[in-house]
Amino acid sequence: MTRGLASSDSKRVKWQVKSYVGIAALPKGRGIPSGKLNSSGEMPFPVRELGNTKGIPGAESRICTFPVADPDCFLSTLIFMRNVIVLAGLGLILASIAIVVRQGWLQREDPGAPINSAMREALAAKHPQWSHDEAAVLARDFASAHETKSGMRYIIRDPGTGDATPKKGQWVTVHYEGRLFDGTKFDSSYDRGQGPLRVQIGVGRVIAGWDEAIQTMHRGEKRTLAIPYWLAYGERGQGKMIPPKAGLIFHVELIDFQ
């Protein structure tokens, strides 16, 4: 594009901008011819060659040198630098927006009620919850229970003795009875007639709720555990007795550990 700039002596200086570097067409007799050094012996500033100066009165191709002494070259350089700064600023803004969106820094923790099944599944995976029926049982039977960060609740029926608790990898001996939240019994060490269960704790041999709870129990302690499905058998359940996403209630007695 071609613009006209009025100087102090009412003369108009014609200049062009071509590509991203900018191009200056200066009146004859001003600037330094292409390929020569300036009066200080410095190398010329990167060349801004005029493309087609035909039709621009008194214009010829020149070089703007650095440091810039010629006011017309100085103006052309300022315009070029302004364009560079504007483009760099826009690039920085776009990059910042992309980072914020990718990292999800502005995402709400609670986006409100889900609008479709896909969103409901996504929210359930990120923030699993008790079912409506399980929540009613918890409100009735576990109102005064302790609650862990994982979402499990427990009531201490007998505190046991001593201060020691099982460590990860130790073997524990426990009696237990397991029920669904509707009261259905699905397992019991008392009923099998084989004595208490002996199992290694904290290494994934039992459900996550057991690994968490038993490592905080004392010898002889009895607890009632309300274990959410994400710490039990998950979304698939277990066999015919434990349905998908089923919370479990266990009465557990820690007999010994070593």
Q: pLDDT tens digits for 119-146?
A: 555 555 566 789 999 999 999 999 999 9
Mean pLDDT of 195-221: 96
Confidence of residue 103 (pLDDT cuts 50, 70, 90): confident
Domain range enclosing 15 = 2-101
Q: Do 145 and 213 have their domain in common?
A: yes
Q: Where are the alpha helices (DSSP H) in 40-126?
A: 71-103, 117-126
Q: Is residue 117 part of a domain?
A: no
Q: Does the global pTM surpass 0.85?
A: no
Residues with active-site annotation: 176, 186-187, 207, 233, 250
Same domain? For 139 and 224 the reply is yes
pLDDT per position as a tens digit, 32-47? 444 444 454 444 444 4
**Residue 108 within any structural domain of the chain:** no
Of 84, 101, 118, the residue that ends a domain is: 101
> Would you put residue 24 in left (φ > 0), alpha (ψ -120 to 50) or beta?
beta
Q: What is the mean pLDDT of residues 191-214?
A: 95
- Asked whether residue 106 is assigned to any structural domain, the reply reads no
Same domain (yes/no): 241, 138:
yes
Give the separation between CA 189 and CA 52, rounded to whole angstroms: 96
Q: How many domains does the chain have?
A: 2
Q: Are residues 132 and 221 in the same domain?
A: yes
Tell whether 157 is covered by a domain.
Answer: yes
